[in-house]
Every structure is written in structure tokens, then in C-alpha cells.
Structure 1
Amino acid sequence: MQSTANYLWHTGDLLGQGATASVYKARNKKSGELVAVKVFNAASYLRPHEVQVREFEVLRKLNHQNIVKLFAVEETGASHQKVLVMEYCSSGSLLNVLESPEHAFGLPEEEFLVVLRCVVAGMNHLRENGVVHRDIKPGNIMRLVGDQGQSIYKLTDFGAARELEDDEKFVSIYGTEEYLHPDIYERAVLRKPQQKAFGVSVDLWSIGVTLYHAATGNLPFIPFGGPRRNKEIMYRITTEKPAGAIAGMQRRENGPLEWSYSLPGTCQLSMGLQNQLVPILANILEVEQTKCWGFDQFFAETSDILQRVVVHVFSLSQALLHHVFVHAHNTIAIFQEAVCEQTGVAPQDQEYLFEGHLCVLEPSLSAQHIAHTTASNPLTLFSNASENPTGLTFRDPALDVPRFVPKVDVQSDYSTAKSALGAGHQALRLARTLLAGQELMLRGLYWFVEMLQATGRKTLDVTQTALLFLSSSLGTERFSSAAGVPELPEVKKAAELRSRLQTLAEVLSRCSHSVRETQRSLSALSAQLVESRDQVHADKSIQQIQCCVDKMFVIYKQFKKSRQRPGLAYNEEQIHKLDKVNFSHLAKRLLQAFQEECAQKYHASLVTYGKWLREVHETRTHLRLIGCSVAACNTEAQGAQESLSKILDLLSHQLLQDQTRSAQASPPLTAASPSPKSEGLIFHMQELCESMKLLAFDLQDNNRIIERLSRTPSAPGI
């Protein structure tokens, strides 16, 4: 046990160790509060006095939630060693997080954004106080869990920090070689003499390497054999990196250098975030300090990302989920342009469903009016363009599963198990993503089929209404009475109009039949979609993969313990061999479940889904054509009815005039007795005229309904 006046710790509770100090978990003697104490060793006192006290002075002036707090500076009782008493972060460092097999391919997007937010905020506080850290790396970013379960990351280890303004330089060398700026690397690691002075931008290089590591699970610059084994190639990669490249690798000994301008496909960050992040990485991983961004631009660009909101959009035509990053104050038109960049769907062709209902987006409104979305409840995007859905492209996790060496080598076996378990976690994530993608495909298409059915019902109602009125008119005997009046040109015209109305009625009848057939087809498709969704919900492949991962993790933990021991006894070695065999069997089962139960089913579902999507596009086009035909028939019928009404009015008027003239020319006795046939015909003509006027009015009303359906987004089928 060791102690100061107020704190007590055991040397076995080591949290970390460096060249000049060790950090332990300690307790306050009075309150029992957990703290971290940094105890300096003898080597630290060989440094100049101003260097020794620099860390104390820097920490005293810093006060920020994303920087580890300094509580006190004390001394041990016997040796009088200096001790820094600091805030204790119970969840270890960002490096601990990244070394977990679960994060072998980088952090999930939400956690990465938390890291970015915390690092940017902490670095901003340093620059406001004129401090350069000089040793930014995942191991110096501590993690603790807040009261609501959220991660909080804090910068720590200010042993290399010093006060330095933007225009000042320094010549001393500090840092960890994988994260060092190439100019410092050349002098500190390669031991080459050079007279360069370094500015605050060296922290930006280290931040760039750290962010790449957090996003991908790997360092950006990797020579063959690793950074520590091939230092000259490591220096070449960082200094010869082309503009815009964010990573470089040498795959074989003395092989060429390969450059990457994007994050790897195994990265968990969405393309929406990658599009924002990659330009930042490219401009802070710039070896020439004159070309590298300054902190002001770095803070401006990263703050721009962090101030955006995410709108989740599932594209039915691609069968892909997109994360669209927009500012809340941006207009919806800007959001639609961002969607177009990621999906290729032009703004005028974008139609959205949300929770089963069409979502009307007014381009002039702000993006804050868009409904709150999640990955499982996104906006569903439907486009007019019919294409084969590509779905999610992914790297087969089997390619990242190494094999054990035949002999027992606890260090090699541990590394192999760790890599294989990391691939297992990746397979588990992909399985969940593929299954969720199928659910979104089927659910979105089902919703759209439901909307088409609703549109078909409305079209059918309008068509039936028009048919009803036309049939009631054309089937009446009163119209035949009008046709019996001899040698009147109006009667011939009326007969022609009646014939045209009959033709229109036949067209509407065919439309009605076609809509009914379409409705039956849509009902069958809807049933198929429901059945497919039930099959997705019943899928047990994720549980199978999860079971394998859990069992592999137990063996991995045992291998982790074994590698810390000097050797294994005979019986332990035999158990270790059996564990290797079992681990390999579990990995094989896991990959088989992923490939046969997840990947193959997913690709098969894409083929079927593509067929259904094309069917929906064809049905939608068909309903639109029917809607246009119904509208045209109604318009023409309306015109014919108006003309027919005028003719009937004229005929009625002529018959009345003929009756009047006949009455005037006849003797008084016969004038009082008009012809029963003429009287009945006049009555029929007047009544039929009124009926035609009502029919024309109803057809006008039908046309207004059709026009409204064609304009209203809630009726996409017309």
C-alpha cells in the first residue's frame, strides 16, 4: 500500500504506466471516493525543473468536462514523490474500447460521434488556453459513463503538454510514434538530424490518426510487418502520401505502397457521415504544415458535422438505408438535394412514406418539420425510376478469420482468437443489418401497395359513379321518344351524341374491369409481402450467430489469461489445444450460419423484391393510365351531355312552338284538345332535359374528384 496525506492506493491497482510515471486507482481516506493518482518515478526527476512542473501548471488552468480534472498535488509520505490526484474514469481509455474484439472494425456511428464531439470540445478548450497536448492518442482519451448511461470521453496525460500559441514553434520531441507527425517521427524515431521547429498543427495530425483508428479499428498507415518493425517504410508512407489520401498500406515485403481515399467498407459509419468526415481527415493528415488546416478551420468543419441532425431514409429502389446529415435550419429543398446526392433520385421524383402514410414535404419549409426518424423507423423513399435494387454490399467476414498455427503459441493463439472473434462480431452486425434491410424492404413495399389499393378504390368509385349516371340516361325510354320526332337535324345530332355516350360508357366499363383485376393482383401481392415479413420475423439465424459469438468469447477470455502466464502445464496445454479446436468449430458454424442463413437468403430476397418492385411500378403506371382515361371520358361525356341538353331544350322549344301554331290555326273547339302524343313528348323532353343537366353536373363533379386525386400526393396511383 502507498499513500499521501489524503489518499491511499495499492500498487496492484495499476491503471497505466509510462516512461516517467504510473497511474493507480486510489481512494480518499475520509470519503472513500475513487480517484486516479499519477505517481512520478525517479526518471521524471532527471528532467529540468520547469518541465517537471509544467504538467501541474497546465492542469491547474484547465477546467472542462472533456478534460480529466486535477483535484490536488500531493507527496507520498516516505519518498516524497510527487503525486497528481485526478478524476477517475472507470471505463478505461478509448484504446481499451478499440482493443475489444467487438470494435475490431471501428466504433458504431453513434459512439464515434460522441468521441468526435468530446475530442473537439476538449481540444477547443486547450486552444482557448494556448495549450498544445503533443501526445493525442486513444490511450490518452479516457472514458466514463454518465448518469444516463451515455459515454463521456476526456483528454488526459498532459506530461508532454505546454503552452504554445498558434504562431509559436517548439523543438522538443514527445508523443507515441504511430500517432506522431512525420516531421517529429523523422527526428524522434528515425534519429535523423534536422533543424525543423514544430507548431500546434502536430496535434491535428495526431487527432487525424486517432479519428481514423476510432472509425475503422486500424491505424491509417501500415507498412508490411507493422509500424514498429518497419520504421523507414512507415516514414515513407506518411511523407509520400498523395493529397487527398487518408490511408496507406504496404501489403507485402518490398511491395508497392497502396493509397486509400475513403474509409474501408468494413467501417460502421454511414456514407452520409463518411462524406462529411473524409475531407477533414484528408486535410489534417497533411504532412506539409503550410498545407495542413489550422485549428480554426478544423473546429469550424467538425462543428458543422456535430450541429447537423440525421434523417434516416430508406430507398425502396436501392433497398438501402441512408443517413442524411442536414442542419435543422436548412430547407427541405436542401435536404432533398442531399438525398439526391446519396440515392441518385432527383428531388422532383422523390416521394416519401412515413409510418405507412405519404409524407408531404414542402421544399420551402425548414428541415425541422421532417418527422423524427430512426434506423428502424425511417422515411421510405419511392422514386419513379424503376431499377434493380442493389441492396447492401459487404465484405464476407470469412475473409477476416485467420487460422490457428498448429503448435501451441499462447501469444499467437490469443491474437488469432481476437481477430476471429472480431470477424464474428462483424458477421453478427451484418446479419442484423441484412435482416433489418429485408424488413424495411417488405414493409415499405407493403405500405406502397396499400396506397395503390386505396388509389384503385377511389378510381373505381369515380368510374362506377360515371357509369351509373350514363346507364340511367342511356337506358331510358324517354330518349327514344325524342328520337321519334321526324325530319329534325337536331334529332340526328342527338342520336350521334347518344351513340358517343354509349361508347364512353363501354370504355368506362372496361376501365372498371381493369381496376378490379388490378385490385385482385395487388391483394395477392400484399398477401405475399405479409407472408415474407412473417418469415423474416421467424428467422433464427441471428440467435445462432450470437450463441457462437458468446461461446467464442469465453474461450477468447481464457486465451487472454493464458498469454499473460510464463508457460502452460501439460494438462493446461491439452485443454488449450481442445479450446482451439472448439473455437475453430464455432467459427465455422458461425460463418456457415451467416453465409447460408443470412447472406444467401438476403440475395435471394433481393431478386424477389426486385420483381415485386417492378410489378408495383407497372401497376402504378397502369393505374395512372386508367385514371387519365377515366378523366378523359368524364370530360368528353360532360361535353356531350351539355350538347345533348341544349338539343333537348331546342327540341322541346320547337315542339311547344309547333303546338302553339297548330292551336292558332285550328278551330276553337279542337284547340282545347291538344294531341296526347305531343303533350307526352313535350313532357318527356322537358324531363329528359332536366335529367341531362343533372348528369352533366355529376360528371363535372366526378372530373373535379379525378383532378384532385391526380394533384393530391396521398393518391400516387393517379
Structure 2
Amino acid sequence: MQSTPNYLWSTEDLLGQGATARVYKARNKKSGELVAVKVFNNASYLRPQEVQMREFEMLRKLNHKNIVKLFAVEETGSTKQKVLVMEYCSSGSLLNVLEDPANAFGLAESEFLIVLQCVVAGMNHLRENGVVHRDIKPGNIMRLMGEDGQSIYKLTDFGAARELDDDEKFVSVYGTEEYLHPDMYERAVLRKPQQKVYGVTVDLWSIGVTFYHAATGSLPFVPYGGPRRNKEVMYKITTEKPPGAIAGVQRQENGSIEWSYELPITCRLSVGLKDQLIPILANILEVDQEKCWGFDQFFAETNDILHRIVVDVFSLQQASSHRIYIHPYNTATKFLDAVFKQTNIVPHHQEYFFEGHLYELDPNLQAHNFCRTTQHNPLTLLSSAEQAEDVVGVRYRDPALEFPKFVPKVDVVADCSAAKSAVGAVHQTLRIAQALRHCRELLARGLHWVIGNLKTECSRILEQKRGAHSVLTCLQLTEVKTCVLYEAVSAGSRGLALKDMAMVKTRLQRVSEELSQCSHSIFDSQRALDGILAELVERGQQGHEDKSIRQIESCLEKMQLVYKQFKKARTCLRLGYNEEQIHKLDK
């Protein structure tokens, strides 16, 4: 156990460690309140006094809900080591979240937007106070759960932070290499002498890498063998990146770099959000500090995303879901154009249903007055174009391609890594299966609505037909009576009149036949619609009997238990004979 005058902790309750300090979970001696204590080691005291005091001073001047709070600075009783007493974030870090196999392909859209909002707000407070962090990464973004059950992310670890205005530069190098600006990487990692100075935009590069990691589950720049094993190629990738590229991967030793200008198909973000995010990533992952966006533009563009509302749309004929990010003050005209961009259905061919009824969109209606949609209750889009729309469906990459190969030899580290990848692939499989089921449900519901609307229209036409038939009967009776009257008039004009009446009678007869044919056509349509409805009900029952999702969930549960065992085995230097046999069977 260790303590300061007001706080107590066990050295077994380690939360994290770095080059100059360790962080423990601790308690207030009087209230029992949980806190985090950062205990500095001997190496930290080798730094200049100014550098040692910088973190204390930074945290004292910062006060924001998205920055970890400093409660006190104390000393241990025995060794007189400096201790920072800080807010305890019970849910670990963003890195812990991304290390969960469930997030192997990135965060869900709702969680990513929370990360975006929290990091942008925290960074905005830093810039308002003229602070550059210099070590932004998922491990330095802490997480706790709010009272509403939503995550709150907070920036932490200001050991590398210092005061710096937008137009100032610095020369000292800090940071974690995968998230480090290439200019700083060249000096800090490759140890190459250079006279470059660095500005506040180095934080933007680290934010770009962090956001890409959060969105995809992977780092954007990966040389063959990984960033830590192939440092020269890592530097080459980041410095030779073409304009607009947001990722570069080398898949073979000495192979070419595959550049990417889009987020991968495995990413869980919607096309609507990707379209907003990609230009931001492209402009902050810019090696030339002169071409890179400044913080003002970064804040403007990210807040533009955060101030938009989402309208969920399901395109019926294409069987595809869409999320339209739009400003609350934008009109329906702007919304229809945004839908066209994602679906290729022109505005005048777009018809909408919502909760079973046709939904008319006044061109001047503002988006904040639209009906409230969700992914489970979207606007259903029907294209009125004569040419059939291409079916899009659920776009995905076969998760089997992500499934790792297990080697026969027992290697607890490699096996644990492979198990993690396998569990991540099955999580992705489950999400795809759920998306396909959701798509099927929206298709069935949308078809029910359209068929119901068509049947109502048929009934309305039949009612109008009955009205028309009544009028026709009256006209035919009038024609008979008129003929009788003409029979009584003089013979001179009778012939011409009777000829005209015969023509009227023929036309009335033709109308009667057409009305009868119309009735038969409508009855045929109603029978066809009833047949489609019956087929939909039958397929719906088959869907309810489908056990594939439950089977995937059961498989995933078993695999997670094995992965848990493999994580435990990884901490052992060597497995006993029996443990090794069980390990092989689990593998």
C-alpha cells in the first residue's frame, strides 16, 4: 500500500504506466471517493524543473467536462514522490474500447459521434487556453459513463503539453510514434538530425490518426510487418501520401503502397457520415504544415457535422438504408437533393411513406419539422421512375476473409491475437446478419404499406366506377326516352335524329363495356395484391423460424469464453501439460 496525507492506494490497482509515471486507482481516506493518482518515478525527476512543473500548471488552468480534472497535488509519505490526484474514469480509455473485439472494425456510428463531440470540445478548450497537447492518442482519451448511460470521453496526460499560440512554434519532441506527425517522427523515432520547428497543427495530425482508428478499428498508415518493425517505410508512407489520401497500407515486403481515399467497407459508419468525415481526415492528415488545416477550420467543419440532424431513409426498390445528415434549417428541397446523391433517384421520382401512410414533403418545409425517424422507423422511399432501380441491399465484405489462420504450434501470444481477430470477425458476421434481417423486415413492412395504399386506391376507383355506372344507366335511360320522343316527331327530321341517337347509343354501350373491363382489371389487381400479401406473410413466418442469428450468437458466446482463457494464458510464461492440451482443443 502507498499513501499521501489524504489518499490511499494499492500498487496492485495499476491503471496504466508511462516512461515517467504510473497511474493507480486510489481512495480518499475520509470519504472513500475513488480517484486516479499519477505517481512520478525517479526518471521524471531527471527532467528540467520547468518540464516537471508543466503538467501541474496545465491541469490547474484547465477546467472542462471533456478534460480529466485535477483535484490535488500531494506527496507520498515515505519517498516524497510527487502525486497528481485526478478524476477517476471507471470505463478505461478509448484504446480499451477499440481493443474490444466487438469494435475490431471501428465504433458504432452513435459512439463515434460521441468521441468526435468530446474530443472536439476538449481540444477547443485547450486552444482557447493556448495549450498544445502533443500526445493525442486513444490511450490518452479516458471514458466514463454518464447518468444517462452515454459515454463521456475526456482528454488526459498533459505531461507533454505546453502553452503555444496558433502562430508559435516549438522544437522539442514528444508523443507516441503511431500517432506522431511525420516531421516529429523523423527526429524522435528515426533519430535523424533536422532543424524543423513544429506548430499546433501537430495535434491535428494525431487527432486525424485517432479518428481514423476509432472509425475503422485500424491505424491508417501500416507498413508490412507493422509500424514498430518497419519504421523507415512508415515514414515513407506518411510523407509521400498523395493529396486526399487518408490511408496507406503495404501488404507485401518491399511492396507498393495501397492508397485509400475512402473509409473501408467494413467501417460501421453510414455513407452519410463518411461523406462528411473524409474531407476532414484528408485535410488534417496533411504532412505539409502549411497546407494542413488550422484549428479554426477544423472546429468549423467538425461542429458543422455535430450541428446536423439525421433523417433515416429506406429505399424500397434498392433495399438499402441511408442516413441523411442535414442542417435543421435546410428545406425539403435540399433533403431531396441529398437523397438523390446517395440513391441516384431524382427528386421528382421520390415518393415517401411513413408509418403506413403517404408522406408529402412541402418543398419549403424545414428539416427540423420533418417526422422523427430512426433506423428502425425510417422514411420509406419509393421510386416512381418507369425504369426499375438497381438493387443495392446490404453492402459488406465477407467476414470469412478477416478470419485468421491458426498455426498448429502452441504460441500463447500469437494464439491470443488470432483468437481476438476470430472473435472480431464473428462480431462482424453477427452485425451483417442483423443488418440483413433488418433490411428484410423493412422491405416487408414497406411492401405492406405500398400494397395497402394500392388496395385503397383500387377501392376508391371502384367507388368512382360505381358512380360512373349510375350516371351511365341514367344516360342510357334518357337515350331510350329520347328515341321514343323522336318517334313522335315529323318524318322529315326523324331519320337524321335517329341516326344521331344510334351513334349515342353505340358510344354509351362502348363506355359500359370499358367500365366493365375496368372493373375486371381492378378485381384482377386486387387478387394479385392479395396473393403478394399472402406470400409476404408466408415469408415473414419463415423469417421468424430462421435460427441463423441465434446460432451465430451462441457460437460467439463460446468463442468469447475461449478468448478469455487465451488472454489468461498469455500472461503465463509456460502452460502445464494439461493446460496445453485444453488450449489445443479450444484452438
Residue in 1 that maps onto 2:448: 446
Residue in 1 that maps onto 2:539: 532
Deviation by residue 1:642-667 (Cα, 9 ceiling, x = unmatched): xxxxxxxxxxxxxxxxxxxxxxxxxx
Residue in 2 that maps onto 1:458: 460
Residues 239-278 of structure 1 mapped to structure 2, 5 A cutoff? 239-278=239-278
Give 2:525's match in structure 1, choosing from 518, 528, 552.
518
Of the structure 1 ranges 474-483 and 222-231, higher mean CA displacement relative to structure 2 is found in: 474-483
Residues 177-196 of structure 1 mapped to structure 2, 5 A cutoff? 177-196=177-196
Q: Does the residue aligned with 2:24 lie in a helix, a strand or coil?
A: strand
Residue in 2 that maps onto 1:144: 144
Give 1:423's match in structure 2, choosing from 422, 425, 450.
425
Opposite residue 56 of structure 2, the aligned amino acid is: F
Residue in 2 that maps onto 1:411: 413
| Rounded Cα–Cα distance in structure 2 between residues aligned with 1:150 and 1:423 | 26
**1:355 CA drift (Å):** 0.8
**1:563 CA drift (Å):** 0.4
Q: Is the 8 A contact 2:58 2:161 kept in 1?
A: yes
| Rounded Cα–Cα distance in structure 1 between residues aligned with 2:524 and 2:421 | 56
Q: Does the residue aligned with 2:8 lie in a helix, a strand or coil?
A: strand
Residue in 2 that maps onto 1:551: 558
| Rounded Cα–Cα distance in structure 1 between residues aligned with 2:393 and 2:64 | 44
Residue in 2 that maps onto 1:32: 32
| Rounded Cα–Cα distance in structure 2 between residues aligned with 1:132 and 1:520 | 71
Query: For the pair shown, which has the larger CA radius of gyration, 1 or 2?
Result: 1
Opposite residue 317 of structure 1, the aligned amino acid is: Q
Q: Does the residue aligned with 1:487 lie in a helix, a strand or coil?
A: helix
Q: Does 1:376 align with 2:379?
A: no
Q: Does the residue aligned with 1:14 lie in a helix, a strand or coil?
A: strand
Stretches of structure 1 lacking an aligned partner (at least 5 in a row): 581-718
| Rounded Cα–Cα distance in structure 1 between residues aligned with 2:25 and 2:451 | 61
| Rounded Cα–Cα distance in structure 2 between residues aligned with 1:174 and 1:509 | 86
Q: Does the residue aligned with 2:492 lie in a helix, a strand or coil?
A: coil
Q: Is the 8 A contact 2:483 2:498 kept in 1?
A: no
Residue in 2 that maps onto 1:487: 492
Residue in 2 that maps onto 1:169: 169
| Rounded Cα–Cα distance in structure 2 between residues aligned with 1:51 and 1:234 | 30
Q: Is the 8 A contact 1:244 1:261 kept in 2?
A: yes
Q: Does the residue aligned with 1:484 lie in a helix, a strand or coil?
A: helix
| Rounded Cα–Cα distance in structure 2 between residues aligned with 1:393 and 1:69 | 43
Q: Is the 8 A contact 2:93 2:139 kept in 1?
A: yes
Q: Does 1:572 align with 2:579?
A: yes
Opposite residue 492 of structure 2, the aligned amino acid is: E
**1:498 CA drift (Å):** 2.7
**1:373 CA drift (Å):** 0.7
Residue in 2 that maps onto 1:367: 367
Q: Does 1:119 align with 2:119?
A: yes
| Rounded Cα–Cα distance in structure 2 between residues aligned with 1:484 and 1:506 | 27
| Rounded Cα–Cα distance in structure 2 between residues aligned with 1:510 and 1:304 | 58
**1:481 CA drift (Å):** 0.9
| Rounded Cα–Cα distance in structure 2 between residues aligned with 1:128 and 1:220 | 29
Q: Is the 8 A contact 1:482 1:491 kept in 2?
A: no
Of the structure 1 ranges 452-461 and 259-268, higher mean CA displacement relative to structure 2 is found in: 452-461
| Rounded Cα–Cα distance in structure 2 between residues aligned with 1:321 and 1:365 | 23
Residue in 2 that maps onto 1:713: none
**1:76 CA drift (Å):** 0.4
| Rounded Cα–Cα distance in structure 1 between residues aligned with 2:553 and 2:33 | 38
Residue in 2 that maps onto 1:49: 49
Identity %, equivalent residues? 67
Residue in 2 that maps onto 1:128: 128
Q: Does 1:319 align with 2:324?
A: no
Q: Is the 8 A contact 2:6 2:30 kept in 1?
A: yes
**1:538 CA drift (Å):** 2.8
| Rounded Cα–Cα distance in structure 2 between residues aligned with 1:238 and 1:483 | 99
Opposite residue 520 of structure 2, the aligned amino acid is: H
Q: Does the residue aligned with 1:249 lie in a helix, a strand or coil?
A: strand
Q: Is the 8 A contact 2:483 2:501 kept in 1?
A: no
**1:471 CA drift (Å):** 2.2
When the two chains are superposed, the root-mean-square deviation of aligned CA atoms in Å is: 1.0
| Rounded Cα–Cα distance in structure 2 between residues aligned with 1:406 and 1:428 | 27
| Rounded Cα–Cα distance in structure 1 between residues aligned with 2:532 and 2:317 | 17
**1:502 CA drift (Å):** 1.9
Opposite residue 263 of structure 2, the aligned amino acid is: L
Residue in 2 that maps onto 1:219: 219
Q: Does 1:229 align with 2:236?
A: no
Q: Is the 8 A contact 1:483 1:495 kept in 2?
A: no
**1:491 CA drift (Å):** 4.4
Stretches of structure 2 lacking an aligned partner (at least 5 in a row): none
Opposite residue 420 of structure 2, the aligned amino acid is: K
Q: Is the 8 A contact 2:486 2:497 kept in 1?
A: no
Aligned residues: 580
Opposite residue 478 of structure 1, the aligned amino acid is: K
Residue in 2 that maps onto 1:345: 345
Residue in 2 that maps onto 1:160: 160
**1:277 CA drift (Å):** 0.2
| Rounded Cα–Cα distance in structure 1 between residues aligned with 2:382 and 2:348 | 11
Residue in 2 that maps onto 1:197: 197
Opposite residue 293 of structure 1, the aligned amino acid is: W
Per residue, is there more helix in 1 or in 2? 1
Q: Is the 8 A contact 2:332 2:366 kept in 1?
A: yes
**1:490 CA drift (Å):** 4.0
Q: Does the residue aligned with 1:228 lie in a helix, a strand or coil?
A: coil
| Rounded Cα–Cα distance in structure 2 between residues aligned with 1:368 and 1:407 | 60
| Rounded Cα–Cα distance in structure 2 between residues aligned with 1:45 and 1:71 | 22
**1:527 CA drift (Å):** 1.4
Of the structure 1 ranges 466-475 and 96-105, higher mean CA displacement relative to structure 2 is found in: 466-475
**1:473 CA drift (Å):** 3.1
Q: Does the residue aligned with 2:518 lie in a helix, a strand or coil?
A: helix
Q: Is the 8 A contact 1:190 1:232 kept in 2?
A: yes
Residues 257-336 of structure 1 mapped to structure 2, 5 A cutoff? 257-336=257-336
Q: Does 1:86 align with 2:90?
A: no
Q: Does the residue aligned with 1:381 lie in a helix, a strand or coil?
A: strand
Q: Is the 8 A contact 1:114 1:151 kept in 2?
A: yes
| Rounded Cα–Cα distance in structure 2 between residues aligned with 1:45 and 1:257 | 43
Residue in 1 that maps onto 2:435: 433
**1:38 CA drift (Å):** 0.2
Opposite residue 542 of structure 2, the aligned amino acid is: Q
Opposite residue 519 of structure 2, the aligned amino acid is: S
Q: Is the 8 A contact 1:320 1:391 kept in 2?
A: yes
**1:479 CA drift (Å):** 3.6
Q: Does the residue aligned with 1:351 lie in a helix, a strand or coil?
A: strand
- TM-score, normalising length: structure 2: 0.97
Q: Does the residue aligned with 1:392 lie in a helix, a strand or coil?
A: coil
Residues 593-632 of structure 1 mapped to structure 2, 5 A cutoff? none
**1:460 CA drift (Å):** 1.3
Cα 1:487–1:514, aligned 2, differ >3 Å: closer, same or farther?
farther
Deviation by residue 1:310-338 (Cα, 9 ceiling, x = unmatched): 11000012100000001111111111110
**1:483 CA drift (Å):** 4.1
Residues 619-658 of structure 1 mapped to structure 2, 5 A cutoff? none
**1:499 CA drift (Å):** 2.2
**1:546 CA drift (Å):** 0.3
Q: Does 1:502 align with 2:505?
A: no
Deviation by residue 1:276-302 (Cα, 9 ceiling, x = unmatched): 000000000000001100000000000
Q: Does the residue aligned with 2:12 lie in a helix, a strand or coil?
A: strand
Residue in 1 that maps onto 2:481: 478
Q: Is the 8 A contact 1:464 1:512 kept in 2?
A: no
Opposite residue 487 of structure 1, the aligned amino acid is: G
Deviation by residue 1:243-294 (Cα, 9 ceiling, x = unmatched): 0000000000000011000001100000000000000000000000011000
| Rounded Cα–Cα distance in structure 1 between residues aligned with 2:12 and 2:46 | 26
| Rounded Cα–Cα distance in structure 2 between residues aligned with 1:479 and 1:521 | 43
